Every structure is written in structure tokens, then in C-alpha cells.
Amino acid sequence: MTVESVFPMLEPLLPRVSKPVQYVGGELNATVKDWDAAAVRWALMYPDAYEVGVPNQGVMILYEILNELPDVLAERTYAVWPDLEALMREHGVPQFTVDGHRPLAAFDLMGISFATELGYTNMLTALDLGGIPLHSVDRTDEHPIVVSGGHAAFNPEPIADFIDCAVLGDGEEAVLEITDIVRAWKAEGCPGGRDEVLTRLAETGGVYVPRFYDVEYLPDGRIQRVVPNRERVPYRVFKRTTMDLDAWPYPKQPLVPLAESVHERMSVEIFRGCTRGCRFCQAGMITRPVRERSIEGIGAMVQRGLEATGFEEVGLLSLSSADHSEIAEITKGLADRYEGTNTGLSLPSTRVDAFNVDLANELSRGGRRSGLTFAPEGGSERLRRVINKMVSEEDLIRTVSTAFANGWRQVKLYFMCGLPTETDEDVLQIAEMAKNVIRAGREVSGRKDIRCTISIGGFVPKPHTPFQWASQCDPDTVDSRLAKLRAAINSDRSLGRNIGMRYHDGKPSLIEGLLSRGDRRIGKVIERVWREGGRFDGWSEHFSYYRWVNAAEAELPAFGVDLAWFTTREREELEVLPWEHLDSGLDKEWLWADWQDALDEREQDDCRWTPCFDCGVCPAMGTDIEVGPTGRTLLPLTPVGGGSPVRNPSLSTLTN
């Protein structure tokens, strides 16, 4: 049965809201398919504002893969701002997709990609506006199957009450497998109802269905065990890993948003995974092993993407892009190919020890030299050993001196506050490092207009990392250290006036920590926060620390635990962690040993260049690290393809 667009109901409301263009759809390369011709229909959600969600690579890739199938339809939906939410409730307009403006409740599946746990309340808003019961237990065969993914899906327990299932890891092959199962179930007449299709999904071993697992607790509040409650369900759920990136050259037709978005560029993911072993970095741990896209594959994606979009900048994405084994050949080849078109290239991720001026010059060819960004993360040498960020201050000063000597004028440095074993002195050394950067820049350039900006975020212990057992630093301590740091920077006015400081206070980080390492009992807190007005918790202007604290104080005592129990409490080795039945491939004993190495301030090498240190991923995956070099080069195109003339040529920002 044809599902009608809700746009006639929505359109009269748009003049009354901010940024109405974000709700109208119609972007270049968007897809609207015949509803009646589709056997399986997906609504894909990024649970944040359109401007943040539309450039998201994960959603864009799945959107395109699904829509390539002739009998599958995929549309996108984003979180609506509170002004439109109020009007939608007043006028009975349901949560809608931006492609066909179809109501969310009409779809077979709703896939939600969580980049951060602070998007959980936005999910509840979308479900409620869509007329979909908040709790999975209350849904019938008529409601969409709610699937969560993204990095936060590696511990979906806090939202176990609200989702039907979760997928760990890469989504390309997983969404196709889920689609096949749902298609077959529908073709058979939906035997056994919702329960049966969820069981079929769980049987794959790669889809986690929380309702099929029972959690038992010890008297002190810790988890005793998590066990399946039916025969056809596995004890452990494994992550999905797409090994051959060249076989999945998506997105082929990147979306070009109508409204301003956070990333105005065409992006190509040049590799996945990271073996640097930074102990705080969940992304680096859960995306192992390293898998590189070939130089030819990258070149083809860049060419096709520029021709399809007209973007003026190409982002070469990964967790640490300069670690690609052929990054020099890639950047030179692309710079040669697009010379004269003023197409900008950027590496949104590199490291102090991977930076070199030749690389930076290739990226900035034809552009202007803006700032360079690096992430030492810890202020002191001792603390960088704890977090396994093997960069010395000498390395940093040498790198920035080279950059300043070659014409750069600005450097941004990223740090974290609240790291395990951190002291006031560790944080105060950030000020000395920034001052030394200014001194070095002035010396090698002979100029006074050298600038250094330090940006500081609060540390959040994450699942599937060596720091998953760590005590989280309380917000008062974080804020006190940041105040001392600011005073230290300002103590020398001749240097301090050239140092900028940006930071987030410790309160949002503590709530993120609650949601990151929480279990099913946290669902009550999330729902209470949402019912009391919680929306867009990742935005400082909407986030309310006290709303979260009050909700925790109201809901958690019934379980014999509190906010501190989930955040500032250090875990013991044998404690059953909420995500222990969800397998990221990492061996728990190895993670614990690395946590002990952190406390002993011992560094761990990168296993790409040294013998395997047995983290467990490669044997678990039955695979190995895939890394070049191939020895191939990127051939120029004749005529040059893509890359419209740049009105404001962009130099890449090199970050860590």
C-alpha cells in the first residue's frame, strides 16, 4: 500500500522554524524510490541535527548500498530541532524522512548510527514523534525493527530497552544480510511474527538482540552473568569487519547538502583500523585490523566523487591518515592530477611523528597556508607513556619548528584532561609546551605573529579499551586543573597573549562516561532525562548536567547503585563488564595487561612494524593486517576530471 508524503502537513510549519531548508530534502545525489516497488524499506537516522548528520560517511555509505538494490528502499531522517518538534506535536506531524517525507513508522527497519552516546535522547524523540513505542517489548509486527550501529553500539546496554537489535562493527555487509533475512521473512508471510525475525537475525552471530539475553546481578550491584534465554541465540555476538575496502568503493555519489553542514567537502576513507595502540582511543581498538584502500582505488573514488558533486575539497579520511603506507604517493599523485583546478586536499588526521613538510606542501599546493593541528593528548612525557602516545616534546618542537620555518604561522594542539594517573603538574606542563612552541616559532621564523591554540577535552573511559577499568576523574577536579592551566598560560604575558585556550568543562564528560560504561539500569535514567526535556545533549547550549544528575539520583538508588558507581569507580580485573558478551575481537586478558602496563608507564609498540603482541584480533577474525606498499603510482587523467575552480582555495588542516 502506497505511503503518502507528510510534506503537505509539514510545509506550512517551515516558515516558523530556524533553518527550514534542512527539512526539505532534494539534495544532489539523493534518492527517492517507488515505495510500492520495494520489498524492504529502511529509514536511516543520524541522531543529531541535519548539518551534523548529512555529511556522515557511515550513513551515506549504507544509504547508497541499500538503494543500489532494485527491491530495497532507503531514506534518511535526522533529529528535528525543538522548535519544529513542538509544532509537529501540535499539528500531528510524525517524524519523517527528508527524501520522500514518509512517516518513520511505515518503514520495515530503522537504522540509527550513534557516533556518541549523547545522541540517545534524540533517538527517543524520533521514536516518540514517529508513533513507535519507546520500549522494544511494546512493539508489534506493524512497527519498524530498530537497529543501532556505530561505535556506541559496542556497548548498547544502556539503550537495551529501546532498540530491537545492534550491529557491531562495519555495516556494509551487515545491512545486506539483515535485508536478506527480513525480505525472506516477509515473503514467507511473516511467520512467527516479530519474535521470529529477531531470532533469525540473532542466529547469524553478528546481530545482538538484547531481549534474548538475561542479566543477573550480584548483591553489590555488579553483574554476575549475561546469558541467552533461548536456544537459537549464541552466547557471544561478534563484530563485522569489511576486509577488502576496494570492493566497497562507497559513497560513489556523495550527497551534496542544500544547507550548510559541518564538513563542506568530498571525503574518501583511505584506510580503516589503527594499531598505534593509544590506550584511550576506542575507535583505534574496535576497528582493528588495519585495512588499506589501494592507491588506484583512492584515485578512482576521488575522480568519481568530484565529478558527481563539484566539491572544492577532498578529505582523505582515516584515524591517522598519514600512516597509510603510500600516503606520499597518494598525495603527490592527487596534487599532480588536479593541479590547475585548485582542488584542495586535506588530511583531517595525522601525527607529530608522521608529519613532514613534503607531505604538507603537496597538500597545500595552490592553496593558502592555514594552521596545522597535532594531538599530544597528554601534557607531560610521563602521562604520554601512560596513554601510549609515543610523542616527545622534542619531536613536537622539531616538527612545528620545521613548519614555522616553511611559512606556517599557526599550530593547534589537542589535549585531554582527567586521564588515568594524571596530576596537576601533568596538566600544567601543557602551558610550558605551548610556550615552547611560541618560542621555537619566533626563533626560526623571526616573526612575532606565531600563534598556538590549545584545545582540551575531558577524558571518558570507553569499553573495549585498556582504560575500560579506570576511574573517571570527577568534574570538579577537571575544572580546577583547567583553571590552574589558564593561570599558568597567562603568567607570562609576552607568550600567553599568543596562546589561545579552548576547553570543555568536566560535566558533559562525566555523563558521557555514565552512558559509555553503563548497563541496562541506565535506561531508566535516559528515559527520565528525555521526559524532562533532554534533547541534543551533545550541544552545550542544550545540555543540562543537573537534569542528568537529578535523574540518576531519582532512578539508580532502587538498584543499589549511583552515578559515581558507574563513573568514578575503578573496576577490578574479574568484574563482568556490561559489554563482555559483545566481542570486538580484542582479548580481555591482553587489555588488562595493557592497563597494567599503563599504570607502570610502559609503552606498547605499533604491531604493523614490530612482531605481533597478541591483542587477539587477527586470530579472532581469521585474517591479518592488510598494509602496502604496492609500489604503484596514481596516473594523471586526461583531461583532468572533476574539481571545479576553487573560490576560496583550502589548505588541508593536518590533525592527529
> Residue 649: its pLDDT value, please?
30
Distance set, CA 276 to CA 352, 521, 561, 604 (Å): 13, 34, 36, 8
pLDDT 10s digits, 183-241: 999 999 999 999 999 999 999 999 999 999 999 999 999 999 999 999 999 999 999 99
What three-state secondary structure class fits 148?
A: strand
255 Cβ contact list (under 8 Å, min separation 6): 27, 28, 29, 30, 54, 55, 60, 63
> Residue 654: its pLDDT value, please?
34
Q: Angle 172-187/193-203 helices, nearest 10 degrees? A: 140
Among 311, 352, 358, which residue's Cα sits nearest to residue 330?
Answer: 358
Q: Which residue has the cell 584480533?
A: 617
Q: What is the mean pLDDT of residues 384-389?
A: 96
Q: Which residue has the cell 597545500?
A: 364
The lowest-confidence range among 8-17, 119-128, 160-169, 599-608 is: 599-608
Inter-residue contact 71 to 65 (CB < 8 Å): no
Q: Angle 506-517/522-531 helices, nearest 10 degrees? A: 130
Residue 101 has pLDDT above 70, yes or no: yes
Cα separation, 158 vs 516, whole angstroms:
8
Per-residue cell: 385: 607513556
Cα separation, 397 vs 412, whole angstroms:
13
Residue 495 has pLDDT above 60, yes or no: yes
The side-by-side arrangement of strands in the sheet containing 72-78 is 72-78, 40-46, 109-113, 145-149, 165-167, 207-208
> Residue 646: its pLDDT value, please?
33
pLDDT grade, residue 264 (50/70/90)? confident
> Residue 504: its pLDDT value, please?
83
What three-state secondary structure class fits 78?
A: strand
96 Cβ contact list (under 8 Å, min separation 6): 6, 7, 10, 23, 77, 102, 103, 104
- The 8 Å CB, 24+ separation contacts for 81-90 are 81/17, 81/18, 81/19, 81/49, 81/536, 82/535, 82/536, 82/542, 83/16, 83/17, 83/18, 84/13, 84/17, 84/23, 85/125, 85/129, 85/535, 87/13, 87/16, 87/17, 88/10, 88/13, 88/129, 89/129
Q: Which residue has the cell 620555518?
A: 405
Q: How many other C-beta atoms lie within 10 A of the C-beta of residue 12?
A: 11
Cα separation, 56 vs 150, whole angstroms:
11
Cα separation, 561 vs 567, whole angstroms:
11
The side-by-side arrangement of strands in the sheet containing 410-417 is 372-377, 410-417, 451-458, 499-503
pLDDT grade, residue 635 (50/70/90)? low
Mean pLDDT of the chain: 91
Indicate the Cα dihedral angle 566, 571, 574, 575, nearest 10°.
Answer: -10
pLDDT grade, residue 559 (50/70/90)? very high
Residue 652 has pLDDT above 60, yes or no: no
Q: Which residue has the cell 519498524?
A: 144
> Residue 611: its pLDDT value, please?
76
What three-state secondary structure class fits 167?
A: strand
pLDDT grade, residue 168 (50/70/90)? very high
Among 262, 258, 264, which residue's Cα sits nearest to residue 24?
Answer: 258
Among 153, 127, 89, 139, which residue's Cα sits nearest to residue 286?
Answer: 153
pLDDT 10s digits, 105-154: 999 999 999 999 999 999 999 999 999 999 999 999 999 999 999 999 99
The lowest-confidence range among 252-261, 426-435, 454-463, 573-582 is: 252-261
DSSP assignment of 623-650: ---B--------PPPSSPPS-PPPSS--
pLDDT 10s digits, 566-612: 999 999 999 999 999 999 999 999 999 999 999 999 998 888 777 78
pLDDT 10s digits, 454-480: 999 999 999 999 999 999 999 999 999
Q: What is the mean pLDDT of residues 513-537?
A: 98
Q: What is the pTM (predicted TM-score) of this model?
A: 0.94
Cα separation, 242 vs 167, whole angstroms:
13
Residue 648 has pLDDT above 50, yes or no: no
453 or 624: which leads in pLDDT: 453
Inter-residue contact 335 to 281 (CB < 8 Å): no
Kindly state the DSSP code that residue 169 receives in the 8-state scheme: B
